[in-house]
Amino acid sequence: MVDSLSPDERSKRMSLVRSKDTKPELVVRRLVHSLRYRYRLHDSTLPGRPDLVFKSKRKAIFVHGCFWHRHGEECVLTRVPKSRLDFWKSKFAENARRDQEKQEALHALGWDFLIIWECQLKDLDHLTRRVRDFLG
């Protein structure tokens, strides 16, 4: 199947995809702040550059987009593009491999981490309990 956008249009669209300060990340940051926890952002000294870092607790939170990080087949946000399937399968497999590698490295350093998926932001009460239990 042929891409419906020209290479320049596709490049412009992909350049709009953010790696930090995404809407899901901002929701989680507001929630954590409302619980009166303080954190650092995107600590580059830690494997995977976690989105929220709680150094004194040796805990970190990753906010993953379901599309890019492949939440699972049951998640409606984990759709598969219709064109360039070989490229996307390779891209998604590499993302998953890299996520696993960084999480294992973080754990090996004695850090605990929580992954919050984009689709889990729909139930903020449940998410609040998860964050509180994780950080508590």
Whole-number Cα distances in Å, 20 to 52, 62, 64, 88: 11, 11, 10, 21
Average pLDDT, the chain: 90
Q: Write the single-letter amino acid at 70.
A: R
Strands 52-54 and 40-41: antiparallel
Structure tokens at 62: 């990753």
- Sequence ranges of the domains in the chain: 21-135
Tell me: the pLDDT tens digits for 104-130?
999 999 999 999 999 999 999 999 999
Looking at domain 21-135, its CATH architecture is 3-Layer(aba) Sandwich (3.40)
Q: What is the mean pLDDT of residues 14-29?
A: 81
CA-closest candidate to residue 114, choices 55, 31, 53: 53
Tell me: the pLDDT tens digits for 5-18?
677 776 676 666 66
